[in-house]
A and B are shown apart, each in its own frame.
Chain A
Amino acid sequence: MRSGFVLLVLVTWLAACGGGKDGGTLEAIKKRGELTWGADLQGGEPFVYEDPANPKQVIGFEVDIANAIARRLGVKAKFVQYAWSNLVPSLERRDFDIVMNGLEATPDRQKRILLSAPYFIYAETLAVRQDSTYTTLADLKGKRVGTLNQTYAHDLLRAQPLEAVLYEGNEEPYIDLEQKRTEAVLLDNIIADRYGCVSTRPAVKCVPGDIARGTYVIGIRKGDDDLKAAIDSALADMRKDGELEKILRKENLWDARQSEPPPVMAAEDTVRKREFDGAMFGQFLDAAVVTLRLSLLAFLLAVPIGLLLAIARVYGGIVTSTLARIYIEVFRGTPVLLQLFVLYYGLAPYYSFSPVTAAVLGLGLNYGAYEAEVYRGALLAIPRGQTEAAKALGMAPAQTLRYVLLPQALRLALPPMTNDFVSLLKDSSLVSAITVIELTKRMTIAAVDMRSWLIPGLACAALYFALSFPLSELARRLERRLSRDQRPQAL
């Protein structure tokens, strides 16, 4: 996550330099006998996914289409795994020949790359809870509506006066809908039919009728007009001779929409490109406040947890110290992202936390394990004579801890604690996975809205620094005040 921003700037820069308008791809494909196509397995069934019977093999309707097109071009198709949001930049960088992975035809994409004829017509489907009366987007004014990041559905939601809640996976939007964390979910009918309005989710229903229609197309580099012509003709033949219908029927995707004329793409994007103006700056500040508040609350939770665990480990009996050690090893030894998912989605059927509560709890419980080891180290660094002196003065264990050991341990722990807090501040970006819009998420949203990473990235970096530096400075002063006798000796 931390390296994300640098990476993104780099990717943008590389893409800008890459250009790639020289064509010649079709010739190269025929020469090497292989058509390489980029897609993301995370999109899941039915697009491109690992065969449950043979996980080394990918299957799905897009695999079948790619194979059919390749066959008609006289070559073999080769799948290449890429993160979905990087597919278009990677195409431009010539990492593969074409993109095919539920890529929606939008005016913005058409400006950037060549788009083939559609191979599938989808509908944006609104899912709501059974007892709900919402039927249109207009009904959902001011409400929370879930969708996937960077999709056409997201564009539709952004054009409405409602709060779009963004996800990266197909299941999570519907889990949150069940849990009443959102009021509706807008997604392609392929996803809605398979993940949303299914028998295992009796509380969710799909509103009949299409909110909008769109098409999936194959992305081709600018300049490769001959490749586009070849693919379009292959697709037209497949439509004519029934192979496309056969492929779509195999995955249960053939419906009446496929026989109807494809929807006409709007000339301009429904969402206008945004500038980094006062309103956006305000959104960045709000997100920075979310980040700071989350981090402070999580740390306020982590410190007492860490203290208790450290005391249990150092002074507890065999049972207490073993329990503390198990806690520390489990929370430190598993990814915090996983812990957030378990708290937010995994526990949802039993207890439904709000996103912010789950975020604070998840980060706090996780950092508590790290703090515990910091305090344990600090407690062990205090000379034995201190405990002995306190004992000899008739002090009880709790008094010894409170008045003698903890004050000394805390000032030893202050530099690593500052470290941990700054680290937590940045790790808090992980909570966007459970729909909290904090600083990093705000940056990625702004980058999509502005079609550029540079300014949002810089604003995001500046705000993180503006949050962490004063805190480091505060800690430095506190440390100087507390550690009068611990100034380093000259070497």
Chain B
Amino acid sequence: MISVRKLSKRHGDRTVLAEVSAEVGKGETIAIVGPSGGGKSTLLRCLNYLEAFDAGEIDIAGTTLRPGMAVGHASVLRALRVKVGMVFQQFNLFPHLTALQNITLAPRVVRGFTEDQCDKHAKELLSRVGLGDRGGSYPHELSGGQQQRVAIARSLALKPDVLLFDEPTSALDPEMRDEVMGVIKDLREGGMTMLVVTHEMQFAHDIATRVWVIDKGTIAEDGPPSQVVDNPQSSVAKEFFGRLKK
């Protein structure tokens, strides 16, 4: 589903990503963990080209991404983003639209579906994230956890092949985290391919099928949770999980 080959990115003098290579199969749920500033979010954002990179290649959902596509490849990128959804730390719901309208906007204007088709699908999605009765609510009338679940439903509305989560629970109280984690877990059961940048030990351990530890722009460790979380090999992973366990 995803193949990252020698992906590199610099910010001035600083190397953000250094020849990162990785493979993700269909239906996998990858937890991306590691110290702040290590390049986790940057790697994720390169996958739907919200950020450009300097070298390397990414095959994702049938599209090949290369450096320098920010200009002149707008339609390729738009088509890619329909297939690769993204959920943000700050939800980024559209405040002037209801929950239902937030979900139906992209299918209507990007995919050209009719309002009826979209509404029906959006209502199903809202039920799936446990908010079947809140379609008419505006974002400010919803709790953080509810907003994030609407945001997930919004990404799902385009029927993506891959979902990217950028610290989806970092802005939430523990109680609301569980709601959102629950939704992601359901998606895993449904076979969705997902990459989740997170600080949640429990998520990495219980929900992920694979864990990447990213530090200084490279994948320091890559393996199933039973190996990476319970029995880390690299010093970064040892230190990282050791600190979190305390």
Chain A residues with a Cβ under 8 A of chain B: 383, 385-386, 388-389, 391-397, 399, 403-404, 407-408, 411, 482, 484-485
A192 CB to closest chain B CB, in angstroms? 62
Give the bracket for the number of chain B residues in contact with chain A.
Answer: 20 to 34
Determine which residue in A388, A393, A395 has the highest number of CB atoms from chain B within 10 A of its CB, and name it: A393
Pick the contact of B96 from A392, A399, A411 — CB < 8 Å?
A411
Residue B138, interface by CB 8 Å: yes
**For A403, what are the chain B residues with a Cβ–Cβ distance below 8 Å?**
105, 109
Residue of A nearest to B86 (CB): A392
- CA A407 to CA B98, docked complex, whole Å: 13
Q: Which 8 A-B pairs have the closest CB atoms?
A: A485-B140, A389-B92, A385-B92, A393-B106, A392-B86, A394-B82, A394-B81, A394-B78
Once A385-B88, A403-B105, A408-B95 are accepted as A-B contacts, the answer to whether A392 and B139 lie under 8 Å apart by CB is no
Contact indicator B158/A394 (Cβ below 8 Å): yes
Pick the contact of A408 from B82, B85, B96 — CB < 8 Å?
B96
Pick the contact of B92 from A388, A397, A484, A485 — CB < 8 Å?
A388
Determine which residue in A386, A392, A403 has the highest number of CB atoms from chain B within 10 A of its CB, and name it: A392
Contact indicator B50/A389 (Cβ below 8 Å): no
**For B78, what are the chain A residues with a Cβ–Cβ distance below 8 Å?**
394-396
Pairs A–B under 8 Å by Cβ, sample size 29:
A383-B90, A383-B92, A385-B88, A385-B90, A385-B92, A386-B94, A389-B88, A392-B86, A392-B88, A393-B106, A393-B158, A394-B78, A394-B79, A394-B80, A394-B110, A395-B106, A395-B109, A396-B74, A396-B78, A396-B110, A403-B105, A403-B109, A404-B94, A408-B96, A411-B96, A482-B96, A484-B138, A485-B95, A485-B138
**B103-139 Cβ-contact flags toward A at 8 Å (1 or 0):** 0011001100000000000000000000000000011
A389 CB to closest chain B CB, in angstroms? 4
Residue B198, interface by CB 8 Å: no
Residue B48, interface by CB 8 Å: yes
**For B80, what are the chain A residues with a Cβ–Cβ distance below 8 Å?**
394
Contact indicator A393/B105 (Cβ below 8 Å): yes
A486 CB to closest chain B CB, in angstroms? 9
A400 CB to closest chain B CB, in angstroms? 10
Q: Which of B147-194 contact A (CB under 8 A)?
A: 154-155, 158
Contact indicator B88/A394 (Cβ below 8 Å): no
- CA A403 to CA B140, docked complex, whole Å: 18
A481 CB to closest chain B CB, in angstroms? 11
Once A394-B81, A484-B140 are accepted as A-B contacts, the answer to whether A388 and B50 lie under 8 Å apart by CB is yes
Residue of B nearest to A484 (CB): B138
**For B50, what are the chain A residues with a Cβ–Cβ distance below 8 Å?**
388, 391-392
Contact indicator A392/B94 (Cβ below 8 Å): no
Contact indicator B94/A389 (Cβ below 8 Å): yes
- CA A104 to CA B196, docked complex, whole Å: 89
Residue of A nearest to B109 (CB): A399
Once A394-B79, A484-B140 are accepted as A-B contacts, the answer to whether A386 and B92 lie under 8 Å apart by CB is yes
- CA A404 to CA B140, docked complex, whole Å: 16
- CA A340 to CA B80, docked complex, whole Å: 52
- CA A395 to CA B107, docked complex, whole Å: 10
Contact indicator A399/B88 (Cβ below 8 Å): no
Given contacts A392-B86, A394-B78, A484-B140, 5 further A-B contacts (CB under 8 A): A383-B90, A386-B94, A392-B88, A393-B155, A394-B106
Contact indicator A393/B88 (Cβ below 8 Å): no
**For A484, what are the chain B residues with a Cβ–Cβ distance below 8 Å?**
138, 140
**For B154, what are the chain A residues with a Cβ–Cβ distance below 8 Å?**
393
Once A484-B140, A485-B95 are accepted as A-B contacts, the answer to whether A392 and B48 lie under 8 Å apart by CB is yes
Contact indicator A393/B110 (Cβ below 8 Å): yes
- CA A485 to CA B94, docked complex, whole Å: 12
Residue of A nearest to B108 (CB): A403
**For A385, what are the chain B residues with a Cβ–Cβ distance below 8 Å?**
88, 90, 92
**For B86, what are the chain A residues with a Cβ–Cβ distance below 8 Å?**
392
Once A389-B94, A394-B82 are accepted as A-B contacts, the answer to whether A399 and B110 lie under 8 Å apart by CB is yes
Residue of B nearest to A385 (CB): B92
- CA A76 to CA B95, docked complex, whole Å: 76
Residue of B nearest to A400 (CB): B109
**B192-230 Cβ-contact flags toward A at 8 Å (1 or 0):** 000000000000000000000000000000000000000
B28 CB to closest chain A CB, in angstroms? 21
**For A393, what are the chain B residues with a Cβ–Cβ distance below 8 Å?**
81-82, 85, 105-106, 110, 154-155, 158
**For B92, what are the chain A residues with a Cβ–Cβ distance below 8 Å?**
383, 385-386, 388-389
**For A482, what are the chain B residues with a Cβ–Cβ distance below 8 Å?**
96
- CA A399 to CA B155, docked complex, whole Å: 17
**B55-72 Cβ-contact flags toward A at 8 Å (1 or 0):** 000000000000000000
**For A411, what are the chain B residues with a Cβ–Cβ distance below 8 Å?**
96
**For B95, what are the chain A residues with a Cβ–Cβ distance below 8 Å?**
408, 485
